[in-house]
Structure 1
């Protein structure tokens, strides 16, 4: 089990909970079946993280499957969260670190 991605998935979960964005009930099967990137038409980005990214990544880790190495969630996170009143810095940083861990490339952080 890759320790770093696992740790970063937990960090994303922890930050979603700290922001009170963690939801107890999943979205409908129809919402989850969206074919748009990030289920943009049916879910918020925070919902997509919780109900799509985290479970899929965890399933891959549990199965010993190779993890994606071409991933770029940071731009979507910065764009989505930039105008929100909540302090999303720790969540965005955890997402940036996940991108870096999986892609092996540094993420250019916004100033």
Structure 2
């Protein structure tokens, strides 16, 4: 792993941890059709937390493992706020704060 991506890897590990704490980490992989959605955040076929687990985290892990380039921009946290607006603010604030940090890391990466 590229040393530059160690911090990103730590963010992803923490994101998984936070999703597990909320009970939003699934052991069941979605079917192929669900994973192939072309809608933003796969919103037509999965919840936002499922998208984080099955699309976002694996894509970033692939970038880390292959020393690939990061996206030029990232704005995941605002979608989390919208998607989880019905949830307890106290429960989701740690993961939302983490997503804002992750967004900033990706956007500011050299």
Answer yes or no: same fold by TM over 0.5: yes
Q: In the alignment, which residue of structure 1 is the partner of 2:6?
A: 3
Q: Which runs of 4+ in 1 moved over 4 A?
A: none
Give unpaired runs (5+ residues) of structure 1: 106-111
Instruction: Tell me whether 1:102 sits opposite 2:73 in the alignment.
Output: no
Between structures 1 and 2, the one with greater helix share: 2
Deviation, 1:81, is 1.1
TM norm structure 2: 0.90
Q: CA RMSD in A?
A: 1.3
Q: Take 2:79 and 2:56, find their aligned partners in 1: how far apart are those partners?
A: 13
Is there any run of 5+ residues in structure 2 with no aligned partner, and where? none
Cα offset for 1:69?
2.3
**CA distance, structure 1, for counterparts of residue 31 and residue 15 of structure 2:** 22
Q: Secondary structure at the match of 1:77?
A: helix
1:26-105 map, 5 Å? 26-85=29-88, 87-104=91-108
Structure 2 equivalent of residue 108 of structure 1 = none
